[in-house]
């Protein structure tokens, strides 16, 4: 390609775009360290007077049980990620390596659920959870997230390419079905499981709609709900909102940076295969 002359310009444009994308994070971080007079000062002040000013963070944890919110989110996201991984890989194994009656129809039906937007089924789901007496409980918050349809799809695609010869060889050697699953299949699809666990954790952590419907009491709130509760006042204190936002974002950012390779894999796989 004859792009030699344009290369520096491209690099500058790419960098400028990236800085624009990252700017809101920077702004969130500096605002969370400012006092109210500082954020209202004219002309605009970019950096806080005192970098070690953590008063906003203290205030966030005092005004709301934010530690509890973090714990709730961590619990819900971890359980849903693990449960999805287990169910999806077992189901994926079944669909990839066994032929049974209704195999195709069943798989089509499960993948078809991907097309149903969650918001369409939220009313019946709410009534059902209500009847089970699970409103405002951990099982109630978790229920729709215990299984991941995307996960079943992802795991089937991954397990399908594991050579069936390995499975047969293990069976001849006298391994049981669970032994085969545990010793042959799982080690071969570790990357896909990593992808699924990380992506599902992120999704559940960031979810707002279902927790909003199912949670009532302050102690059962997850972080997204906790964040919203800082805006329900007539006057929004942005130094507190940004501090709360930082607290809610940091854990997921850590997960994201640690698992970025796997997330990109997942996006590309789901993206390119539709």
Partner 1 sequence: MSVPLTVVAALAAALGLHRLRNLRARSAWAAMYFVPFSVSLVAAALVWQWIYDPVYGVLNHLLGTLGLPQLKWLQSLDLVRPSLALVNVWARLGFDTVIFLAALQAIPAEYYEAAAIDGAGAWQALYRLTLPLLNPQIVMVAILELIFNFKIFDTVYATTQGGPAGASQTVIMLLYDTAFKYFRLGDASVMAVFVFVSLLLVTLLQWRLFRRQVEY
Contact 127, 61 (CB under 8 A): no
How many whole angstroms separate alpha carbon 180 and alpha carbon 167? Answer: 7
The distance of closest approach from Cβ of residue 24 to partner 1 in the complex, given in angstroms and rounded to an integer, is: 5
The distance of closest approach from Cβ of residue 207 to partner 1 in the complex, given in angstroms and rounded to an integer, is: 8
* Piece of the chain touching partner 1 by CB under 8 A; list 38-46, 86-94, 136-144, 162-170: 38-46
- Which residue in the set 51, 62, 100, 115 belongs to the binding site for partner 1 (CB under 8 A)? 115
Identify which of residues 142 and 167 has a Cβ nearer to partner 1 in the complex. 142
The distance of closest approach from Cβ of residue 165 to partner 1 in the complex, given in angstroms and rounded to an integer, is: 29
* Piece of the chain touching partner 1 by CB under 8 A; list 9-17, 83-91, 155-163, 167-175: 9-17
Residues that bind partner 1 (CB under 8 A): 1-3, 6-7, 10-11, 13-15, 17-19, 21-22, 24-25, 27-28, 31, 39-40, 43-44, 115-117, 119-124, 126-127, 202, 205-209, 212-213, 223-224, 227-228, 230-231, 236, 238, 241-242, 245, 248-249, 252-253, 255-256, 260, 263-264, 267-268, 271-272, 274
């Amino acid at each position: 390609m004859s792009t030699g002359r344009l290369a520096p310009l491209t690099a500058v444009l790419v960098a400028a775009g990236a800085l624009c994308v990252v700017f809101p994070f920077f702004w969130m971080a500096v605002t969370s360290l400012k006092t109210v007079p500082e954020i209202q000062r004219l002309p605009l002040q970019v950096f806080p007077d005192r970098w070690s000013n953590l008063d906003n963070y203290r205030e966030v944890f005092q005004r709301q049980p934010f530690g509890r919110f973090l714990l709730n989110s961590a619990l819900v996201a971890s359980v849903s990620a693990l449960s999805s991984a287990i169910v999806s890989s077992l189901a994926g194994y079944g669909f990839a390596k066994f032929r049974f009656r209704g195999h195709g129809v069943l798989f089509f039906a499960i993948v078809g659920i991907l097309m149903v937007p969650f918001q369409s089924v939220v009313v019946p789901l709410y009534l059902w959870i209500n009847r089970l007496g699970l409103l405002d409980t951990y099982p109630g918050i978790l229920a729709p997230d215990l299984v991941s349809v995307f996960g079943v799809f992802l795991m089937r695609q991954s397990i399908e390419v594991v050579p069936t010869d390995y499975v047969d060889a293990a069976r001849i050697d006298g391994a049981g079905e669970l032994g085969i699953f545990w010793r042959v299949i799982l080690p071969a699809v570790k990357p896909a499981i990593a992808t699924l666990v990380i992506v599902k954790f992120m999704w559940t952590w960031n979810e707002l709609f279902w927790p909003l419907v199912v949670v009532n009491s302050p102690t059962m709130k997850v972080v997204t709900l906790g964040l919203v509760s800082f805006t329900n006042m007539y006057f929004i204190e942005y130094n507190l909102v940004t501090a709360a936002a930082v607290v809610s974002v940091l854990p997921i950012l850590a997960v994201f940076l640690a698992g970025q390779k796997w997330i990109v894999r997942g996006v590309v796989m789901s993206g390119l295969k539709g």
